[in-house]
Chains A and B, each alone.
Chain A
Amino acid sequence: MNIDLLFEPFQYGFMVRAFLGTGLVAIVAAAVGTFVVLKGLAFMGDAISHTAFTGIALALILGISVYIGALFFAVVTALGVVLLTRVSNVKNDTALAILFTGVFAFGIVLLSGTPGFGGDLNSLLLGSVMAIQAKEILLLASVAVLLGLILAVFFRRFVLVSFDPVGAEAAGFPVAFVQSLLLMVIAVAIVISIQAVGVILVVALLITPAATASLLTKNLKALILLASGFGLLSSCVGLYISYFFGAPPGATVVLVATVFFGVALGIQKLRRA
């Protein structure tokens, strides 16, 4: 293979921005996603991304920042779920699924019914990382650093409320607050990842690299680093494939991540055999 091919995409500014933007959110989403996988919260990631879509749709129509719209809906969803599970003491995933798909459908109807926004629908659903602007990357980078900091500072407390919330609560530890903070970090990670891969596939960016890593190590810190590595690698390889084969980048990134998962699963089975 000609080595020049490797650098070919980088002659275009939009590709450089795509690599930067996708790589950044992939690292953060994978690190945050480790907790999503450990706690079995994938369905909640789904809920957040779908309601965030409607937040974006409303923001577009109202002419305010899409990030604010998405963030508002994502955080309300995350906190709503905490409340729901605390009050009813059961995993109310049926009620949640009805609610978030309903809100999602409302967003689609809203957006497709508003003249001039039909094109946005497609890019929201499938991502539009090729169109990402330099100032958006700056925003993503700042948020990514912020999330990384929160994760680092509260790491052991996030582990505590994930591993033994009951024992921590019994000893008077502020479990509800720390859980809510963790969910908000997850919500924000989803919001900043939507542009890269779109609403439908964003959960994959969150959980697939972390699930892959969890097959290979039982050490939590190694798991998070490995997950971030898989996230970054998937986004780079995915973008190359997208560039050379003209497929939507969000889809190729997720596809590569899924292939990594399959390979890791195979390795794990071989190790045990």
Chain B
Amino acid sequence: MSLTHAPDLALNIQNLTAGYPDNVVLQDVSWQVKRGTLAAIIGPNGGGKSTLIKTAVGLLTPFSWTTMELLGQSPKNGRRQVAYLPQQEEVDWGFPITVLDVVMQGRLVKQGLWGRSTKADYAASHEALDFFGLERYKHTQVGSLSGGQRQRVFLARALVQEADLILLDEPSTGLDAKAQHELADLFKVLSEQGKTIVAATHDLNCLTACFDHVLALDGHVLVDGTPEEVLTEANMVKLFARHFPKIGSAGEVTLHEH
């Protein structure tokens, strides 16, 4: 199935058509993300940001594709080094689980069905907690933390899992400006360690500051490149205009033609 085998790519998707039964969301999407990149997916609601991420990590079965590689491997093998952070509202924050137990799950998903936790696993977890400034919350129930801290718990888990590709669905939702900036800083640190970050986001504010690769997606690839290349006025009008009504000089309201 694979046309090219590219180990320097964290994500290699060619000619992907995907979505839900009776609802094709993505048409013929091709996208490559280099290892160590901070990549953002932007676009209107229903444009397929989540669909692309969920399909990449195997949560949705695509309709057709020519290439699908994670970290230069087949999705099945690559997924072991992939961490997916769902949208905040998809997590059951009332679940009685401590911060340390969540982070330790990073080792569990690596182990699979069998295997016991070793001292090294606990050491790795404590190290990750320390790294994200969460050590003193280790016995706290995860849901009682703030939004920014919850994100860091899941990033710590990804670190413990030794994930090289981290995909996040709307990570900045529910975070205040300070927490958003802290998260962006963490992304940078992680990418300097060689991790690849792919985030679906509706927040266009810090794109130029935080990301080095942006994909504008509206069912198909509108444009793909550096933030400067993508975030032009013309592109943004194309990407979002049809979702806003146009008010004419006589006050008439029309919708943009697509």
Interface residues of A (CB under 8 A from B): 38, 89, 156-157, 159-160, 162-164, 166-174, 177-178, 214, 217-220, 223
Q: Quick check: B96 and A169 within 8 Å, CB to CB?
A: no
Q: Number of contacting residues on B, CB 8 A? A: 35
B120 at the interface (CB under 8 A from A): no
Could you tell me the distance in whole angstroms from the C-beta of A220 to the nearest C-beta in chain B?
Answer: 5
- Can you add 9 more A-B contacts, CB < 8 Å, to A168-B105, A217-B96, A220-B101? A156-B104, A164-B102, A164-B105, A167-B86, A170-B167, A171-B79, A171-B161, A172-B58, A173-B108
Q: Chain A nearest CB: distance from B180 CB in Å?
A: 22
Nearest chain B residue, comparing its CB with the CB of A157? B108
Contact residues in B for A168 (Cβ distance below 8 Å) = 105, 109
Interchain CA distance A167-B57 in the complex, whole Å: 9
Q: Which chain A residues border B157 with CB–CB below 8 Å? A: 167
Interface residues of B in 196-252 (CB under 8 A from A): none
The one of B76, B83, B113 in contact with A157, judged by C-beta atoms closer than 8 angstroms, is B113
Cβ of B145 under 8 Å from chain A: no
Given the known interface contacts A157-B108, A164-B105, the answer about A214 and B96 at a Cβ–Cβ threshold of 8 Å is: yes
Closest Cβ of chain B: how far from A217's Cβ, in Å? 7
**Known contacts being A159-B101, A220-B97, is A172 close to B76, with CB within 8 Å?**
yes
| B95 engages A38 (CB within 8 Å) | yes
- B113→A163 contact, CB < 8 A: no
Q: Which residues of B contact A163 (CB under 8 A)?
A: 92, 95, 97, 102, 105
Name the CB-closest residue of A to B95: A163
Which chain A residues border B84 with CB–CB below 8 Å? 166-167, 170-171
Contact residues of B: prevailing secondary structure = mixed
Check B82 for interface membership: any CB of A closer than 8 A.
Answer: yes
List the interface of chain B (C-beta within 8 A of A).
20, 57-59, 76, 79-80, 82-86, 90-92, 95-98, 101-102, 104-105, 108-110, 112-113, 117, 141, 154, 157, 161, 163, 167
Check A159 against B97 for contact (C-beta < 8 Å). Answer: yes
Evaluate contact between B79 and A172: CB separation under 8 angstroms.
yes
**Could you tell me if B141 and A218 are in contact, using CB atoms closer than 8 angstroms?**
yes
A84-B140 Cα distance, complex, nearest whole Å? 36
Cβ contacts A to B, 13 pairs, < 8 Å: A38-B95, A160-B109, A163-B102, A164-B86, A164-B102, A167-B85, A167-B154, A170-B82, A171-B83, A174-B112, A177-B113, A218-B96, A219-B141
Q: Is the CB of A170 within 8 A of B59?
A: yes
A113, B257: Cα distance in complex, Å: 68
Are B82 and A171 neighbours in the complex by a CB distance under 8 Å?
A: yes
Q: Which of A160, A162, A169 contacts B59 (CB 8 A)?
A: A169
Most buried by B among A157, A163, A223: A163
Bound-complex Cα distance A157 to B91 (A): 17
A40, chain B: closest CB distance, angstroms: 9
Shortest distance from the beta carbon of A47 to any chain B beta carbon, whole Å: 22
Instruction: Please give the distance in Å from A106's CB to the nearest CB on chain B.
Output: 32
Can you list the 8 inter-chain pairs with the closest CB atoms, starting with the nearest? A170-B84, A172-B79, A170-B57, A171-B109, A173-B109, A220-B96, A218-B141, A218-B96
A160 adjacent to B79 (CB under 8 Å): no
Q: How far is the CB of B214 from chain A (nearest CB, A)?
A: 23
Are B91 and A164 interface neighbours, CB within 8 A? yes
Pairwise interchain contact B59-A166, C-beta atoms closer than 8 A? yes
Q: In angstroms, how far is the closest chain A Cβ from the Cβ of B142?
A: 9
Whether B113 and A178, one on each chain, are in contact in the complex, defined by CB atoms closer than 8 angstroms, is: yes
The residue in chain B whose Cβ has the minimal distance to the Cβ of A34 is B96
Pick the residue among A89, A157, A166 that contacts B86 (CB under 8 A). A166
Q: A219–B96 contact, CB under 8 A? A: yes
Q: A174 to chain B: which residues have CB within 8 Å?
A: 112-113
Query: Taking the nearest CB of chain A, how far is it from the CB of B30, in angstroms?
Result: 21
Docked Cα-Cα span, A128 to B236, in Å, equals 71
Q: Select the residue from A157, A166, A169 with max chain B CB neighbours within 10 A.
A: A166
B113: chain A residues at CB < 8 Å are: 157, 174, 177-178
Q: Chain A residues near B80: list those with CB within 8 A.
A: 171-172
Name A170's contact: one of B58, B95, B101 (CB within 8 Å): B58
Query: B85 contacts which chain A residues (CB < 8 A)?
Result: 167
Bound CA–CA A174/B92 (angstroms): 20
Do residues A172 and B109 form an inter-chain contact, with CB atoms below 8 A? yes
A178 to B20, CA, bound (A): 25
| Chain B residues positioned under 8 Å from A166 (CB to CB) | 59, 84, 86, 90
What chain B residues lie within 8 Å of A160 (beta carbons)?
Answer: 105, 108-109
B110 neighbours in A (Cβ, 8 Å): 171
With A160-B105, A163-B97, A219-B96 in contact, do A173 and B86 touch (Cβ < 8 Å)? no
In the complex, residue of chain A having the shortest beta-carbon distance to the beta carbon of B104: A156
Output the least CB separation between B54 and chain A (Å): 8
Residues of A within 8 A of B92 (CB): 163
Min CB distance B143 to A, Å, is: 8
B85–chain A nearest beta-carbon distance, Å: 7
**Contacts of B83 on A, CB cut-off 8 Å?**
167, 170-171
